Structure 1
Amino acid sequence: MEKKPLTCLLVAINAKYIHSNLAVYSLRACAERELCRRGAAADVRVELAEYTINHRAAEILDDIYMKKADILCFSCYIWNIEYVKTLVKNLKRLCPQTPIWLGGPEVSFDCEARLSEIPEADGILYGEGERSFPALLLGFRAAAEESRSAVPFRPAGYPDGCAYRREDGGVEITPPAPFADMAELPFVYENMEEFQNRILYYETSRGCPFSCSYCLSSVDKTLRFRPMELVKRELSFFLEQQVPQVKLVDRTFNCKKSHAMEIWTFLRDHDNGVTNFHFEIAADVLDEEELSLLETMRPGLIRLEIGVQSTNERTLETIRRKTDPEKLRRVVLRLEKKRNVCCHLDLIAGLPYEDYESFGRSFDDVYDLRPNELQLGFLKVLKGSPMYDEAGQYHILYQAEAPFEVLETPWLSHEDVIRLKQVEDMVEIYYNSRQFLHSMEALLPCFGRAFLMYEALGREYTARGMGKKKHVRAALYQFLLDFAAEHTTLNPDRFRQILTLDYYLREHAKRRPEFALPDEEYRDGIRERLFAEFPGESAGSLMRTKHVEVFLPPFTEEEEYWLFDYEERDPLTGNAQVKCLTRRKPVGKRGNDYDKYEK
């Protein structure tokens, strides 16, 4: 009778469906290659199962159980560790003889304590797994051959880079596994059917030269780079496949200038007009040569994530973040002025010596740069990071369970944290969505500071119970109109038209919003100007891809007809191109060039 191969199931539970888990694909590829080298490819089969935290734990449990794997391995992160704990507990009850192993950053530090917290787990692969995971599978294979059992409970030997339970119940930790050779890491995206409609993650380097105390990357200062000939070949594959977005997971992509310059130059010279690439960088170390190169990119080709975290000098010094805030400011302003690179700026609330007012100033400093996105995050005290060891010193109180987010500090009360959560929600809805660009600019002078504006919005949004249910898009605009009426002296008719501008910039709505001014008496003029602009086109075709809106004083100086063309959109904001049919010239190419109407 043909011997049944051992089956190992690698389980990934992602935050969203659109995400993919690079780690499990890399582990599978490394294991298959090593098993083949050892002549064991027919003896061990590695399968993948990807889920999201939006699935019910019971559904995931049933699906894993029905796969009848001989070995289960879970990829653990802060967003899924509570799911994993529940799954492991119940799977061990159902399948007591099935070995269950864990890996990933959420279990790679203080492994003995982790195995104590999750007694159903048999072991942990800590750190990089590209060497230890194939070795573990070979150990299970050897045990299966020795015992003539299809389901060995323990491997014949334990590789470097693991913590495991001894038969007496104690925990043994082997020495760290050697770092993976970046030249030997397999490229996991050959079969693109597995990644349809998903963001692809890719790495060209590992390690980070910086020492930020809140970050796990500060632990590994050994910088390693993938050979450039491999990188270019793999980037070419993404371009040929016209992948929508590739997100590089290099911790600080531009820590080596020559490496960054060569890749950015390659992407510019081989741009397919579709794919965009996301990089996490340190903006204050960009020099003139790098900035000049970035300024030559197609709008939308490059997306830069820039960690500001705080502009409080004492806070930055305490968390050992070496940043030149003034140079960072100049760099971002220059990139924003060119309007071809998407800039995503991060702030972290809850850091030492940053109180509510200080954070508000950091927020204003970053908001004044008008990045494409502003992420207001909260400190997470991660096991293995220096901040984990220093939290007691700074009396930082954080959640007992993942994601270990800050609850309060000596400088920031829990009530302050709640208020900042309200600000965060408003930033996500009214800034990062890019659907309210002109409305927010019109409101800002009424409050003097951006932080005060979003704080007031958050209070009102909460008071009205808006966060307790999901709203149609028009309701979010109506809330702004009501908010402006109650908290500002803005001209209501003028602000209605600014809201209407934002509303139609983003999409061709099927229904006219209630807040828009009536347009019945202008409909003949709208049709006349639309058909004059596009003679020969059918009414149906025009109505699907175009919209004409009338704007009146006091928003404009005189009656004007503006054409919104949804076939021509700004690559950074997604807004439609707008042209004034009355004055026969473009109003703004980027959907954010309406200064004369905002003020």
Structure 2
Amino acid sequence: MTIVLSTLNARYAHASLGLRYLLANMGELTEQTSIQEFVIGAKTTEMVERLLAAAPRIVGFGVYIWNVEETTRVVAMLKQVAPHVAIVLGGPEVSHETNGQEIVRLADYVVTGWGDVTLPKLCADILNGPKPLMKVHAGVQPPMAEIALPYSLYSDGDIAHRTLYVEASRGCPFKCEFCLSALDKTAWPFPLDNFLAQMETMHARGARLFKFVDRTFNLNVKTSLKIMQFFLDKIAANPDDPVYAHFELVPDHLPDALKAGIAQFPPGALQFEIGIQSFNPEVQALVSRRQDNAKAAENIRWLMEHSHAHLHVDLIAGLPGEDVASFARGFDQLVALGPHEIQFGILKRLRGTPIIRHTEAFKMVFDPYPPYTVLSTRDIDFPTMQRLVRFARYWDLVANSGRFANTVLYIMGKAPFENFMSFADWIYARTDATHRIALDRLAGLVREWLQVCGMPKDEAVALVASDYAGRVDAPAAKPAVVAPMRQARHLAA
């Protein structure tokens, strides 16, 4: 193969949609182009060996916040052992603040932004001349109807074993300053009939798990209803062959027509990711986030009471102007609404996002290394931020895991944030660890904490045991269809 397109995925289950788009749009170079995917944590030498096995003249890398450090090592080794191979970079991590990045210095060319048109042209010039003089090439955005859809490039193995990412639109009309989509002018839909025809083909091949990466799935309700009807028709045709769809919703936009469609989905068929991020109106205004908090809360409550959708709701700690007390109020408000999962994230300074404009006024200090997590702000000092980081980790282990559904309600009590923070502080003091805590040890620690809070030992043992199928090391049966592991919205490809 003359051209190899590659990336390092966060997990094997995360099949790269971006690489498949590029391959689908290579035109005359398609037959000379292949995809080679890896998973972060693989040995650099083994990745380089596999990339060079096809004797390529060009290797292109999709570079993201989660893989930039390891991809930099791969590129550095490639330039040492195969300096004749042209290295082309693309992806969000190298599309902004491009100058000064080590990986950009090592590479030969960079495509910023949309690569569907620009990458094939650049590769043709590299192969056939004239040799490009510029290192950085701004991606050209074509009309959406001219972009070849990539879904036929999901292999049978992908369909059988991996999350299938799809998108009915690109971009976002909102300007939330912590998100790269703040740089978009609007949302651009793909022609719907062609998109649904592709979904039909994927379903016929056996695809049953579809994760939409659209930033605002419910922005155009007519389009949303047509897409949901596609899945409802599949479910109605064969109720014993479950289909699972994941969508990201604008939280304060849920008109009656959309509610009626959502209400038709059976249990285990629908997941919504809902970004609340903050319930503080002053913080929302600072980061240019338009959100009707009352309507958003009302919609979450309706979804919990009148639909079978699984709700995954996001909050971000460390936003400018938000102190711990404000975040705690928002967290407690969200807990009271009862979503199935609360994703407690810590703010990250993604390259190119406007959030940087608040750095001086709010004394925001970010980790200089990926994922560029905020370390402290004017309102939250470094030690307190680290407590929040640990809270988020233990929350995933105890609450979001679903392993302690009954017990976590007792831990939270009437002051969820305060009480769970006390638990997080205690468990960290006992273990000095946030990772590699075995499940049986975690269950024992939870039982011990219940006793510290005054619960008799036999009651603590019984409560923790109620969350399991008779043994503390054996989780109760999960639903037949489980939500896919997600990447945080602002990190997604």
2:149 is matched with which residue?
Answer: 186
Match of 2:417 in 1: 451
TM-score by length of 1: 0.75
C-alpha contact 1:342 1:572 (8 A) present in aligned 2:
no
Number of residues of Structure 1 aligned to a counterpart in Structure 2: 479
Counterpart for residue 523 of structure 1: none
Change (3 A) 1:13 1:141: same
1:133 aligns to 2:96 (yes or no)? no
Q: 1:130/1:118 Cα in 2 relative to 1: closer, same or farther (>3 Å)?
A: closer
Structure 2 residue 4 is matched with structure 1 residue 12: no
Offset from partner CA, 1:63-99 (integer Å, 9 cap, x none): 3244432111110000011111111122111112211
Residue 58 of structure 1 and its aligned partner are, at CA, apart by 3.2
Give the aligned partner of residue 488 of structure 2: none
> What is the letter of the counterpart of residue 86 of structure 2?
P
Residue 460 of structure 1 aligns with which residue?
Answer: 426
Contact 1:299 1:571 (C-alpha < 8 Å) held by counterparts: no
For 2:225, the equivalent position in structure 1 comes to 261
| Relative contact order higher in (CA < 8 Å, ≥ 6 apart) | 2
Is contact 1:407–1:417 with CA below 8 Å preserved after alignment? yes
Contact 1:299–1:572 under 8 Å retained in 2: no
User: Residues 16-415 of structure 1: matches in 2 within 5 Å?
Assistant: 16-31=11-26, 34-35=27-28, 45-114=32-101, 118-143=104-129, 156-158=130-132, 166=133, 173-174=136-137, 176-182=139-145, 184-195=147-158, 196-271=160-235, 272=238, 273-415=241-383
> CA 1:205/1:88 → structure 2, altered by over 3 Å: closer, same or farther?
same
Q: 1:468 to 1:270 in 2, by over 3 A?
A: closer
Which amino acid in 1 is paired with 2:425? R
Q: Distance in 2 between matches of 1:263 and 1:434?
A: 29
Change (3 A) 1:239 1:66: closer
Tell me which amino acid in the other structure corresponds to 2:221: K
Secondary structure at 1:124 match in 2: strand
Distance (whole Å) between structure 1 residues aligned to residue 262 and residue 35 of structure 2:
38
Shift of 1:197: 0.9
Which residue of 2 is the match for residue 591 of structure 1?
A: none
Q: Normalising by structure 2, what TM-score?
A: 0.91
Residues 36-72 of structure 1 deviation map (CA, whole Å, 9 limit, x = unaligned)? xxxx66xx61111111112133332333244432111
Q: Which residue of 2 aligns with 1:441?
A: 409
Q: Are 2:10 and 2:39, in contact at CA under 8 Å, matched by a contact in 1?
A: yes
Query: Contact conserved, 1:398 with 1:408, CA < 8 A, in 2?
Result: yes
Q: Cα distance, 1:513 vs. partner?
A: 4.5
Quick check: 56-65 or 253-262, which moved more?
56-65
When residues 334 and 178 of structure 1 are mapped into structure 2, their CA distance, relative to the original with a 3 A threshold, is closer
Residue pair 2:110, 2:137 contacting (<8 A) in 1 also: no
Give me the whole-angstrom Cα distance separating, in 1, the residues matched to 2:62 and 2:322.
34
Once the two structures are superposed, what CA deviation does each residue of 1:111-162 show, in whole Å capped at 9, x if it has no partner?
A: 3444x7632211101111110111122213323xxxxxxxxxxxx254xxxx
* Kept in 1: contact 2:59–2:87 (CA 8 A): yes
Asked if the contact 2:112–2:137 (Cα under 8 Å) also holds between the matched residues in 1, the reply is no
Could you tell me whether the CA contact under 8 Å between 1:481 and 1:496 is conserved in 2?
yes
Shift, 1:413, TM fit? 0.8
8 Å contact kept, 2:4–2:36:
yes
Amino acid at match of 1:494: E
- Aligned residue for 1:410, secondary structure, equals coil
How far the C-alpha of 1:385 sits from its partner, in A, is: 1.3
Deviations 1:327-370 (A, max 9, x none): 11111111111350011000111101111121111211111122
Q: Distance in 2 between matches of 1:63 and 1:11?
A: 11
- Of 443, 452, 457, which residue of structure 2 is paired with 1:492? 457
* Distance in 2, Cα, partners of 1:375 & 1:492: 31
Q: Is the 8 A contact 2:394 2:434 kept in 1?
A: no
Q: Residues 364 and 474 from structure 1, CA distance in 2 versus in 1: closer, same or farther, beyond 3 angstroms?
A: same
Alpha-carbon contact 1:242-1:274 (below 8 Å) kept: no
1:382 and 1:469 map into 2 onto residues whose CA distance is 25
The one-letter code matched in structure 2 to 1:327 is K
User: For residues 216 and 348 of structure 1, do their structure 2 counterparts lie closer, same or farther at Cα, with a shift above 3 Å needed?
Assistant: same
Q: Hey, what's the Cα distance between the residues in 1 that align with 2:434 and 2:358?
A: 36
Q: Looking at CA atoms only, which structure, 1 or 2, has the larger radius of gyration?
A: 1
Structure 2 segments unaligned to the other structure (5+ residues): 485-493
Q: Compared with structure 1, are the counterparts of its residues 222 and 328 closer, same or farther at alpha carbon in structure 2 (3 Å cutoff)?
A: closer
- SS of 1:368 mapped into structure 2: helix
2: distance between equivalents of 1:19 and 1:203? 15
Query: Letter of the aligned partner of 2:8 in structure 1?
Result: I
Distance between the aligned counterparts of 1:142 and 1:454, measured in 2? 62
Distance across 1 between alignment mates of 2:175 and 2:434: 40
For 2:390 and 2:137, how far apart are their aligned partners in 1?
46
Which amino acid in the other structure matches residue 210 of structure 2? V
Q: Is the 8 A contact 2:412 2:420 kept in 1?
A: no
Shift in Å at residue 190 of structure 1? 5.0
